[in-house]
Structure 1
Amino acid sequence: MQFETPLVPGKLVKRYKRFLSDIELEDGSVVVAHCTNSGSMKTCIEEGAPVYLSRAKDPKRKTKFTWEMIQINDSWVGVNTGLPNQIVFEAIRDGIIPGLDKYKHVKREVKFEDSRFDVYAENEQEQCFIEVKNVTMKVGDAALFPDAITTRGQKHLKTLIEVKKSGLRAVMFYVIQRQDISYFGPAKEIDPAYALALKKAMDNGVEVFAYMAKVSPTGIELSNKLDLQM
């Protein structure tokens, strides 16, 4: 995925009210940028760190910028939780993910029962529902999810089990928007119920994909698949 227009550089002043952040631009002015990440953003908040913003397309939007990434330990961490859906959709559509590369028809935002999944793919042999999650938290060498309790995330796992029981393929896809980690796992200490729900989903045939993403000011692309350690 490439950014359509050049991003705007700045430095993080602070994040507040979950969805807002103050950013100092290169000319010294301070702007308010929308923060799409509703989680705690543990291990990817550092006041004074370099950041990049995108300009809002809608001229009527109150916040004229969206916070896209922050530099932590000399590498970029993607904090826009809306982008992984697009990244995975494009990767499956273009057939570049082994195991998810045989689908002829790929759509975004498709409902199953009372849930709406991020990606739906099909071919002559099967139908597949894919839920995508953004991961930014780093503990040691591990990327962990979630960084805050998520009942919504548990609901998605339960519905993926129902997808599998109905005879369709069910996939949980984690996009880790940073490069300084070695493996992926559930954040048991933060949300033990989610960790149990993930194990139950896997025991019921839900597949898990965890991919590292290379984040840069020009674009974000999936790189290598990570091992899952429960």
Structure 2
Amino acid sequence: MRIENKILVAKFIRRPNRFQGYVLMEGKEELVHVPNTGRCKEILIEGCNVILREENNPTRKTKYDLIAAYKGEKLINIDSQIPNKVVEEALKNGKILSLKKYNNICREKTFGNSRFDFKLSNDEGEEYYLEVKGVTLEDDGVARFPDAPTERGCKHLLELVEVKRTNRGAGVLFLMQMDNIKRFSPNDITDAKFGEALRFAKLNGVDVFAYECNIEESLIELTKEVKIEM
């Protein structure tokens, strides 16, 4: 998907809380919105180049969203709203081969006590629930999730197991918001319970996908599958 809003480059200064950051633009300090509740400590380092998306909304307190940052030479998108949009585009274009048979794509559908990112179906009456997790944590080409403990993430995985038990399809897709990834693994050091839940879900028939993205300052799109090690 192409980002249509105006894109600017700035220098990152600091992040006083989860949703706010300060950047240096044209010699002046500017308050921006950070659309990611994760830690991103290995990405948002003082002095790094960050990508801002201009938001012309008069009701907002900030004019810009901080949507990506350069970690050395690697550009990483950190906008938590992006993964679902990227995956929806990929589903519509048939780029996720295992799910290509589903021609009806619905966003934000509830099953049991969870709201999943997608409910897929086809004209034969088959149904599939898909949860998407954006991944920004990377070290030497190895991507991991999560970057902070997530009880909600564990709950989603266990609910996907319940979906499978009703003879529906179920899967979780980890979207690396970056390119050139060697492999993906659950981040057991940060959240061992999530890793356990992911392995349990896979053992009980839940599909586990991992894809990386082609990413530019004003573009991000799903490209190829990434090897998974659990």
User: Which bin holds the TM-score, normalised by the shorter protein?
Assistant: over 0.9
Distance across 1 between alignment mates of 2:58 and 2:118: 29
In 2, the alpha carbon distance for the partners of 1:37 and 1:73 equals: 20
Residue 78 of structure 2 corresponds to 79
Q: Retained in 1: the 8 A contact 2:5–2:55?
A: no
Question: Is the CA contact (8 Å cut-off) linking 1:43 and 1:136 kept in structure 2?
Answer: no
1:81–1:112 CA distance, 2 compared to 1 (3 A):
same
Match of 2:65 in 1: 66
Q: Deviations over 1:44-75 (max 9, x none)?
A: 12211111111224320122211110011212
Which consecutive unaligned segments of at least 5 residues does structure 1 have?
none
Residue in 1 aligned with 2:121?
A: 122
Alignment of 1:1-230 (within 5 A): 1-25=1-25, 27-125=26-124, 126-230=126-230
What amino acid does structure 1 have at the position aligned with 2:86? I
Q: Which amino acid aligns with 2:15?
A: R
Question: Which amino acid is the alignment partner of residue 35 of structure 2?
Answer: T
SS at match of 1:92: helix
TM-score (normalizing by structure 2): 0.95
Structure 2 contact 181–226 (Cα < 8 Å) conserved: no
Structure 1 runs (4+) deviating above 3 angstroms are none
Separation in 1 of the partners of 2:56 and 2:87?
22
Unaligned runs of 5+ in 2: none
Question: What amino acid sits opposite 1:228 in the alignment?
Answer: I
Distance 1:160 1:57 in 2: 38
Deviations 1:107-137 (A, max 9, x none): 1111112211111211123111111111111
CA distance in 2, matches of 1:167, 1:138: 35
Q: Give, in angstroms, the shift of residue 105 of structure 1.
A: 1.0
Deviation at 1:180, TM superposition (A): 4.1
Check the 8 A contact 1:93/1:103 in 2, yes or no: no
Name the SS for the 1:99 alignment partner.
helix
Q: Percent identity?
A: 34
- Closer/same/farther in 2, CA of residues 140 and 218 from structure 1, 3 Å limit: closer
